[in-house]
Amino acid sequence: MPKTAVVSGADHGLGAELVRQLADRGYTVFAGRYDKSFDTSGENPVFLPLDLSDQASVDSFAEAVSKRTGSLDLLINNAGVLGDMQKTIRDRLDRDDIRRVLEINAIGTLMLTNALFPLIEKGTDRLVVNISSEAGSVSDCRRVGWFGYCMSKAANNMQGALVHNILRQIGGRVIQMHPGHVRTYMRGHLDTTGRLTPEQSAAGVLRTVLDTEIPCGDRPAYVDFEGKELRF
């Protein structure tokens, strides 16, 4: 029986590569696409519409997945947005921008895990990978801006810890993942300063979470795409 996986934010960038490489590894992949103009037909990967800021969309996505599979081995919460990167505490902050980033990166991620949890519990691996960021580390915070993004990824780390505390009781786990600095369009244009291509980052992420023995402890592992440990 092929293993099953869900990846959110699979329109392009890291998400699209994770989907492609998981299918290459033999997974049946259900991929959430935000842009509704994309063609969502197909056998494997199965592309389905998903907007993490809309609960009805999250619920319909989970329902569509559960019509196609009775269990899920792997959930990769990849979808995310960046928001403002410039403003510091000296500037007038944009409340709506910060709220939107928190809504998608932290609350949306949690709500998708919540909607898919009955399937995850029935899976063999019960693995949830949250594509967080080094920006979510409070211990190693060195920025003076990126309020929405850093706060949302710290909250993402916390929701991951709460989910991990249930999953580890049934042989599963959560991994909080920093995928490296990747050349994607997250900044609204191709970020050519990124060290990694989406292909390289996705390969590292999958190698780390699927092929490496990362110890499963009381807290979720918080690691980068090469398995290097980060501090919460």
Ligand X SMILES: NC(=O)c1ccc[n+]([C@@H]2O[C@H](COP(=O)([O-])OP(=O)(O)OC[C@H]3O[C@@H](n4cnc5c(N)ncnc54)[C@H](OP(=O)(O)O)[C@@H]3O)[C@@H](O)[C@H]2O)c1
Q: Which stretch binds ligand X (CB under 6 A): 7-15, 88-96, 114-122, 218-226?
A: 7-15
Distance CA 185, CA 190 (A): 5
9 is a site residue for ligand X (CB under 6 A): yes
Contact with ligand X (CB under 6 A) among 3, 20, 29, 51: 51
115 is a site residue for ligand X (CB under 6 A): no
What is the token pair recorded at 143? 């920025």
Range 31-52 burial, b when 16+ CB lie within 10 A, else e: bbbbeeeeebeeeebbbbbbbb
220 is a site residue for ligand X (CB under 6 A): no
Q: Which stretch binds ligand X (CB under 6 A): 67-75, 79-87, 118-126, 208-216?
A: 79-87
Contact with ligand X (CB under 6 A) among 46, 110, 131, 209: 131
Residue 54 vs 121, nearer CB to ligand X? 54
Contact with ligand X (CB under 6 A) among 97, 194, 214, 232: 194
106 is a site residue for ligand X (CB under 6 A): no
Q: Is 66:119 a contact under the CB 8 Å cutoff?
A: yes
Q: What is the pattern of x (binds ligand X, CB under 6 A) and - over residues 138-157?
A: --------------------
DSSP label at residue 90: T
Helix or strand holding residue 112 (H, E): helix 109-122
Please count the other Cβ atoms lying within 10 Å of the Cβ belonging to residue 66.
Answer: 17
81 is a site residue for ligand X (CB under 6 A): yes
Contact with ligand X (CB under 6 A) among 45, 80, 83, 204: 80
55 is a site residue for ligand X (CB under 6 A): no
The terminus-to-terminus CA distance of the chain in angstroms comes to 37
Dihedral sign for Cα atoms in the order 155, 159, 165, 171: negative
Nearest by Cα to 61 from 74, 75, 50: 50
Interface residues with ligand X (CB under 6 A) are: 8-9, 11-15, 34-35, 50-53, 78-81, 104, 131, 133, 178-179, 181-182, 184-186, 194
